């Protein structure tokens, strides 16, 4: 029995007509003799609407109830897709995350999958059914409903491919594959035929919303071949694969931006061993995720530190930063919400030089000031003013992708 896992995102199942079209596509795979496991997201912008609804009811809704609420979006789409398949004469059954025991930790809204039972899915597949599983949701060991973080249905799909021991996982979305930049921001972006796990992981972490980063981590760990493609046409899409299997290696294969972070600066902290350890240790204890960090060179026994946190944690992080400023001899705390972190990613950087200099130059030529810089083996990121987020992506893309072609 050849099992394939397919995931259809929100736009792909956004209307009744789309759900019927997706059912038609699934039917064609069934007719070719495949056993198909389908993961679906909530219809269109349902998840956003549910979040808005909660905000109208309470200022800070309970995380448990929030996950209870958000998981309903996927429950609607799995049932409708099953009905659409039945209507086409295809036997199908839908399951929620809890029904197939997608077990997660108890970290509401960002839960991690720990295991998935396969017995119920396998039994239904053996009975000749298409199995439809709700994406983005699971349960913790006290049977509370949890969700996996925005965009988490991708991770449900790849985790299912791993436990069902198939290498094939197709992620159907509203663009033709993974592009060299978000095609909605950079009109000249090109579709990539293939991309390595490491590049895709870096791009996803740095803001490319096309895949949930944890799905790429799973794919790398279990050697699953993800194909990202459109549910609106039959183009080939992009294959996410090990870099050893790749034919082409670009210096920069993707440009992206992250706009969900904010910057905090603590001025004139004492410049002595242990200050950064204390500052970031306490942030960690408060479960505040830190991304970029820069420390100024010490002067007169004082040094300033800037770092970025998720916007959603800003109020909490500022409160703590104020306290730490007083404890660690700082003079002031400042925050800036409208920032963007723009990045260029490519495995080819491992064997090239001058990439950072070129990136800084095109930003400078556009009069964009760089506020922080960080690098990894295959990526360079610059923190800039948020108003330049789109322009920066376009000029970096122009330099590395369009001019290189």
State in angstroms the smallest separation of the CB of 234 from ligand ADP. 17
What string marks each residue from 54 to 73 as x (binds ligand ASP by CB under 6 A) or -?
A: -------------------x
State in angstroms the smallest separation of the CB of 333 from ligand ASP. 32
State in angstroms the smallest separation of the CB of 58 from ligand ASP. 20
Per-residue DSSP letter, 313:
G
Closest by CA to 294, choosing from 281, 284, 308, 282, is: 308
Which stretch, 1-9, 21-29, 276-284, 379-387, contacts Mg ion (CB under 5 A)?
Answer: 1-9
Instruction: Work out what residue 179 binds among ligand ADP, Mg ion, ligand ASP, none; the CB cut-off runs from 5 to 8 Å by kind.
Output: ligand ADP
For CA atoms 220, 210, 100, 120, give the dihedral sign. negative
Residue 155 lies near ligand ADP (rule: CB under 6 A): no
Residue among 178 and 309 whose Cβ is closer to ligand ADP: 178
Structure tokens at 93: 């059954």
Q: How many residues does the chain have?
A: 405
In three-state secondary structure terms, 194 is strand
Structure tokens at 358: 């070129």
The CA distances from residue 381 to 37, 354, 360, 374, in Å, are 38, 15, 10, 5
Q: Give alpha helix (H) positions in 287-346.
A: 314-327
State in angstroms the smallest separation of the CB of 359 from Mg ion. 27
Closest by CA to 303, choosing from 331, 263, 335, is: 331
Provide the b/e sequence for 355-384 (b: ≥16 CB within 10 Å): beebbeebbeeeebeebbebeeebbbbbbb
Residue 153 lies near ligand ASP (rule: CB under 6 A): yes
Which residues inside 180-219 make contact with ligand ADP, applying CB under 6 A? Answer: 181-184, 208-210
- Exactly one of 3, 5, 9, 252 binds ligand ADP (CB under 6 A); that residue is 9
Closest by CA to 37, choosing from 152, 138, 123, is: 123
Report the alpha-carbon distance of residue 291 to residue 259 in Å, rounded.
12
- Exactly one of 86, 101, 150, 311 binds ligand ASP (CB under 6 A); that residue is 150
Residue found under tokens 């995350």: 97
Q: State how far Cα 175 lies from the chain centre.
A: 16
Residue among 105 and 385 whose Cβ is closer to ligand ASP: 105
Residues touching ligand ADP: how many (CB under 6 A)?
A: 19
Structure tokens at 378: 């295959």
Which stretch, 146-154, 248-256, 313-321, 371-379, contacts ligand ASP (CB under 6 A)?
Answer: 146-154
Task: Give the chain's count of helices (H) and strands (E).
Answer: 11, 20
Provide the b/e sequence for 209-232 (b: ≥16 CB within 10 Å): ebbbbbbbbbbbebebbbbbbbbe
Which residues inside 235-294 make contact with ligand ADP, applying CB under 6 A? Answer: 254
What string marks each residue from 100 to 139 as x (binds ligand ASP by CB under 6 A) or -?
A: -----------------------------------xx---
What string marks each residue from 18 to 47 as x (binds ligand ASP by CB under 6 A) or -?
A: -----------------------xx----x
Which residues inside 126-155 make contact with Mg ion, applying CB under 5 A? Answer: 151
Residue found under tokens 């082409």: 248
Which stretch, 149-157, 215-223, 285-293, 308-316, contacts ligand ASP (CB under 6 A)?
Answer: 149-157
Residue among 71 and 304 whose Cβ is closer to ligand ADP: 71
What string marks each residue from 79 to 118 as x (binds ligand ADP by CB under 6 A) or -?
A: ----------------------------------------
Report the alpha-carbon distance of residue 302 to residue 275 in Å, rounded.
11
Structure tokens at 157: 């799909």
Residue among 61 and 149 whose Cβ is closer to Mg ion: 149
Residues touching ligand ASP: how many (CB under 6 A)?
A: 12
CB of 133 within 8 A of CB of 39?
yes
Residue 291 lies near ligand ASP (rule: CB under 6 A): no
| Site residues, ligand ASP (CB under 6 A) | 9-10, 41-42, 47, 73, 135-136, 150-153
| Site residues, ligand ADP (CB under 6 A) | 9-12, 41, 151, 173-175, 178-179, 181-184, 208-210, 254
């Amino acid at each position: 029995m050849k099992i394939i896992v397919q995931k259809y995102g929100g736009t792909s199942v956004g209307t009744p007509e789309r759900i019927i079209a997706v059912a038609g596509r699934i039917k064609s795979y069934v007719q070719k003799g495949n056993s198909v496991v389908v993961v679906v997201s909530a219809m269109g912008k349902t998840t956003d609407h549910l979040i808005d609804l909660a905000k109208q009811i309470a200022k800070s809704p309970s995380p448990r109830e929030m996950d209870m609420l958000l998981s309903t979006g996927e429950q609607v789409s799995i049932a409708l897709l099953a009905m659409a398949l039945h209507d086409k004469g295809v036997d199908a059954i839908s399951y929620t995350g809890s029904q197939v025991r997608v077990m997660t930790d108890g970290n509401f809204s960002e839960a991690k999958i720990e295991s998935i039972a396969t017995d119920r899915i396998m039994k239904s597949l053996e009975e000749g059914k298409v199995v439809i599983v709700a994406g983005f949701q699971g349960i913790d060991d006290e049977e509370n409903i949890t969700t996996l973080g925005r965009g988490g249905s991708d991770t449900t799909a790849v985790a299912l491919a791993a436990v069902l021991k198939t290498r094939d996982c197709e992620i159907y979305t509203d663009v033709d594959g993974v592009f060299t930049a978000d095609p909605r921001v950079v009109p000249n972006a090109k579709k990539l035929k293939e991309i390595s796990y490491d590049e895709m992981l870096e791009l996803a972490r740095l803001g490319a919303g096309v895949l949930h980063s944890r799905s790429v981590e799973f794919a790398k760990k279990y050697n699953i071949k993800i194909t990202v493609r459109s549910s609106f046409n039959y183009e080939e899409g992009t294959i996410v694969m090990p870099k050893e299997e790749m034919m082409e290696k670009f210096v920069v294969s993707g440009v992206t931006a992250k706009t969900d972070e904010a910057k905090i600066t603590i001025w004139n902290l004492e410049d002595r061993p242990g200050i950064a350890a204390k500052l970031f240790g306490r942030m960690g204890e408060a479960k505040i995720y830190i991304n970029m960090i820069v420390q100024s060179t010490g002067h007169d026994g004082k040094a300033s530190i800037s770092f970025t946190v998720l916007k959603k944690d800003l109020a909490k992080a500022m409160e703590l930063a104020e306290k730490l400023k007083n404890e660690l001899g700082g003079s002031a705390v400042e925050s800036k919400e409208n920032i963007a972190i723009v990045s260029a990613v490519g495995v080819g950087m491992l064997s090239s030089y001058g990439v950072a200099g070129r990136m800084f130059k095109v930003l400078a030529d556009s009069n964009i000031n760089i506020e922080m810089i960080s690098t990894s083996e295959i990526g360079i990121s610059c923190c800039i003013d948020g108003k330049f987020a789109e322009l920066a992506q376009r000029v970096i893309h122009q330099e590395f992708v369009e001019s290189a072609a």
